[in-house]
Amino acid sequence: MKSLAALLSLIAAGIFIASVTGRENPEPEAIYALQEGDIVFHGNAGGQSDAIREATGSPYTHCGVVFRKDGRLMVFEAVQPVRAVPVEAFIARSQPGTFHARRLKNPPRPEAIAEAKAWAAKQSGRNYDYLFQWADGALYCSELVWKVYDRAGIQLCPTRHFQDYQLDSPKVREVIKRRYGSVDKLPRDEPVVAPGDLAASPLLVEVPRVAE
């Protein structure tokens, strides 16, 4: 996919991005100097997002990778289907105050970046994985980001298992029941990674903010 040709090629030139939320009197978002390869996070509303917040203890419920297309910054993300959207559109889906951007401390080797880009290009159009399984046939957001970097030889964080998260809240159990039929059918040993796990990676630093 040509739109992914620049994915993860970490460049020096940043572009100033501000929030465009479309809400009446929205809470201001942080303004970041984004560049290709940055990982962006946000929290959004809905049953699954509420369950992710309660299970992980993190405000982040979604994430994606920044790249440039025709001079414009885009976010490659796993929704339905896996796709690229403008950064502004990604921010617009954020709950106020939850947009956040992080960056690798040290970029990977050029040949590793090329391998990651080649793999990422093949994922566009894949279905979103509502069961959060680790196989590549369908992908969820943090799995996609983790695997893109893994193809570049970088494991942003260790994978975890469902049983490592807080699963006892009613909202979490409701989502589990809806997706798996019952809590007993949840594959508790399945490898999994959450947006909050990626955001906490010691390999990442916060993207510089624009001085106001």
Residue 21 has pLDDT above 60, yes or no: no
- 115 lies in some domain: yes
pLDDT in the model for residue 113: 86
- 14 lies in some domain: yes
- Stretch 53-75: mean pLDDT: 93
- 26 lies in some domain: yes
Task: Give how far the C-alpha of residue 210 lies from the chain's centroid of Cα atoms, to the nearest Å.
Answer: 22
The parent domain of residue 118 ranges over 2-206
- 99 lies in some domain: yes
- Stretch 160-175: mean pLDDT: 95
Instruction: Give per-residue pLDDT as tens, 193-207.
Output: 999 999 999 999 999
- Stretch 127-147: mean pLDDT: 97
Residue 35 has pLDDT above 60, yes or no: yes
Given a contact cutoff of 8 angstroms between Cβ atoms, the answer to whether 31 and 18 are in contact is: yes
Give me the number of domains the chain comprises. 1
- Stretch 71-81: mean pLDDT: 94
- 212 lies in some domain: no
CATH of the domain at 153: 3.90.1720.10
- Stretch 23-48: mean pLDDT: 76
- Stretch 54-69: mean pLDDT: 94
Residue 169 has pLDDT above 50, yes or no: yes
**Cis bond before residue 81 (omega within 30° of 0):** yes
The span from the CA of 176 to the CA of 179, in Å, is: 5
Instruction: Indicate the DSSP class of residue 104.
Output: E
Confidence of residue 3 (pLDDT cuts 50, 70, 90): very low
Q: Is the pTM for the entire model greater than 0.75? A: yes
147: tokens are 């695997």
* Range with top average pLDDT, 1-10, 20-29, 106-115: 106-115
Residue 6 has pLDDT above 90, yes or no: no
Given a contact cutoff of 8 angstroms between Cβ atoms, the answer to whether 116 and 46 are in contact is: no
Residue 22 has pLDDT above 70, yes or no: no
Given a contact cutoff of 8 angstroms between Cβ atoms, the answer to whether 59 and 30 are in contact is: no
pLDDT in the model for residue 30: 53
- 104 lies in some domain: yes
Mean pLDDT of the chain: 86
